[in-house]
Amino acid sequence: MRVGLFVTCLVDLVRPSVGFAALELLEAAGCEVTVPSTQTCCGQPGYNSGDREAAKALARKVIAEFESFDYVVAPSGSCSGTIKTHYPHLFDDDRGMRERAERLAAKTYELTDFLANVAKLANVPGRFDGTVTYHDSCAGLREMGVKAQPRALLAKVPGLSVKEMAAPEQCCGFGGTFSVKFGEISAAIADRKCDDVDASGADALVLGDVGCMLNIEGRLRRRGNKTTKVLHVAEVLAGSDGRSE
């Protein structure tokens, strides 16, 4: 299986360990992984800000970079969701591009979905001694149907047990540019997520999107919680501490 790894712009900038963890897991699952070096961003910030032309330009670029692979995998429900559920609609008025977008969409996966359902990863390299609680990020859950997959994979990690929080499917308040434009509201929404994380008593919060991760970890730390680890599911599965040293 030839897999193109879409690293995502946030992983590239602030959390490279997620990219390496994804790479390791895909290779452990027997995939031949390529990381196209010209990749940048899927275009979602433009798309969600009403800049359709910018989104289309970046969609064209991603389609050209990734359409030759058997699969496209991203360690993010949000970015894979943009490619899978939104790219085709960007080209409603361009039949040729729309067909290419649809072909790409059909082979694009969120990482845990791909590992669990396509590559059927049997054993995970990681180990985690303690309890984790899983936050279902909105796009992963509602655009990509990611819910059971990360939990099934986490169940394979030696030493790890999952403690569900009260409302794991509740939005954390990130919302991309929303978190800057409406910072006060965004932080207040994040508070409820932080309350849930604290109440779960888990040693680590685990999730599948770096956007939510920055938001929730940023709020947890500002509230004074310095102990609960915040890790991407790929990091936990691969046994990485998230620091890239």
Partner 1 sequence: MQVQSMHFKARASEALSDATLQANLHKFGSAGLAALRARAVVDYGPAEFEALRDASAAIRDRGLANLPALLERFEREATRRGATVLYARTGAEIRDLVLEIAARHGLKKAAKSKSMLSEEAALNDALAAAGVEPIETDLGEYIIQLAKEPPSHIIAPAVHKSKDEVSDLFVKFHATERKTDIPALTREAREVLRSHFLSADLGISGANFLIAETGTGAIVTNEGNGRMVTTLPRVHISITGIEKVIPTLEDFATLMRVLTRSATGQPISNYVSVFTGPKGALDADGPEHMYFILVDNGRTGLLGGEMQEMLRCIRCGACMNHCPVYKTVGGHSYGLVYPGPMGSVLTPSYVGLEKALDLPHAATLCNQCGVVCPVKIPLPDLLRTLREKQVDRGLRPPAERLALRLWAWVAQRPALYALGTRFAARFLRMLGGGDRMVSHLPFAGGWSKGREFPSGPGRTFRELYAARKKS
List residues near partner 1 by CB under 8 A: 7, 9, 11-17, 19-20, 35, 37-41, 43, 45-52, 54, 57-58, 61, 138-139, 142-143, 169-171, 173-190, 192, 213-215, 217-219, 221-222, 226, 230, 243-245
Q: Evaluate whether 132 touches 140 at the Cβ level (below 8 Å).
A: no
Write out the H or E segment, with its range, that includes residue 207: strand 204-207
Are 76 and 208 in contact by the 8 Å Cβ rule? The answer is yes
Residues 6 or more apart from 224 whose CB is under 8 A from it?
none
Residue 142 Cβ vs partner 1, minimum distance, rounded to whole Å: 5
CB-nearer residue toward partner 1: 68 or 244: 244
Q: How far is CA 148 from CA 63, 117, 127, 201, in A?
A: 29, 11, 20, 21
Which one, 148 or 185, has the nearer CB to partner 1?
Answer: 185
The least CB distance from residue 153 to partner 1, in Å, is: 22
Q: Supply the minimum distance, in Å, between the C-beta of residue 227 and partner 1.
A: 12
Residue 181: which region, alpha, beta or left (left: phi > 0; alpha: psi -120 to 50)? alpha
Q: From the CB of 64, what's the least distance to partner 1, in Å?
A: 11
- Cβ proximity to partner 1: between 102 and 159 the closer is 102
Q: Are the CB atoms for 82 and 44 separated by under 8 Å?
A: yes
Phi-psi region of 173 (alpha: psi -120 to 50; beta: other; left: phi over 0): left
By beta-carbon proximity to partner 1, the closer residue of 123 and 184 is: 184
| CA separation for the pair 130, 184 (Å, rounded) | 33
Closest distance of CB 167 from partner 1, Å: 8
Taking the least distance from each CB to partner 1, the nearer of 230 and 237 is: 230
Question: Which of 41, 238 has the CB closer to partner 1?
Answer: 41
State in angstroms the smallest separation of the CB of 79 from partner 1: 13
What residue has token string 């058997």?
70
